[in-house]
Amino acid sequence: MYQLLLKAHLVLVVLGFLSFVLRTWWGVTGSARLHNALALKAHKVVTLLMLISALGLCLVIGQYPVTDAWLTEKLLLLVAYVAVAMLAFRPVAPARQRYVLAGISCGLFATMLLIAKSHTPLLLG
């Protein structure tokens, strides 16, 4: 069960990040696709399934945010990642600002990957 959940979670993480990159590109190029209802719904479904798989993994391994520092830190970084990404997708955001916000989001994402791989918090440890 663990291996199946882990693989599903990893695939969903990759799909979610690729969706973020694609939507960022659409924002920088001024594409109307950024506000496409189907693309937004697909992104939300991938994100929801990713969170459900993460919850399933927590239950299977018996580790939970707040109880385990690495998961708490990863969850806080996820909230920051989503907040910064939402700022990048604002219709009024100029291209330069989108680049900076996308870079920050990528850094947050990379930090989440590092923490997930090592199961070691960087700040809360």
Q: For residue range 34-46, what is the model confidence (pLDDT) as tens digits?
A: 888 999 899 899 9
Could you give the CA distance from residue 51 to residue 96 in angstroms, rounded to a whole number? 31
* Domain assignment present for 125: no
Q: What is the pTM of this model?
A: 0.87
Give a yes or no: residue 61 inside a domain.
Answer: yes
Please check whether residue 116 is in contact with residue 63, taking contact to mean a CB–CB distance below 8 angstroms: no
Smallest CA-to-CA distance from 50 within 99, 116, 107, 122 is with 116
Residue 33 lies in a domain: yes
pLDDT tens profile 111-125: 999 999 999 999 876
Residue 50 covered by a domain: yes
Number of domains, the chain: 1
Residue 32 resides in a domain: yes
pLDDT by residue (tens digit) across 71-122? Answer: 999 999 999 999 999 898 887 888 899 889 999 999 999 999 999 999 999 9
50 and 12 Cβ atoms separated by less than 8 Å: yes
Cα–Cα distance measured from residue 85 to residue 53, given in angstroms and rounded to the nearest whole number: 21
88 in Cβ contact with 24 (< 8 Å): yes
Assess if residue 25 is contained within a domain.
Answer: yes
Plot region of 62 (φ>0 → left; ψ -120 to 50 → alpha; else → beta): left
CB-CB contact of 116 with 74 (8 Å) = yes
Residue 11 lies in a domain: yes
Containing structural domain, residue 35: 2-118
Residue 32: how many other CB atoms lie within 10 Å: 7
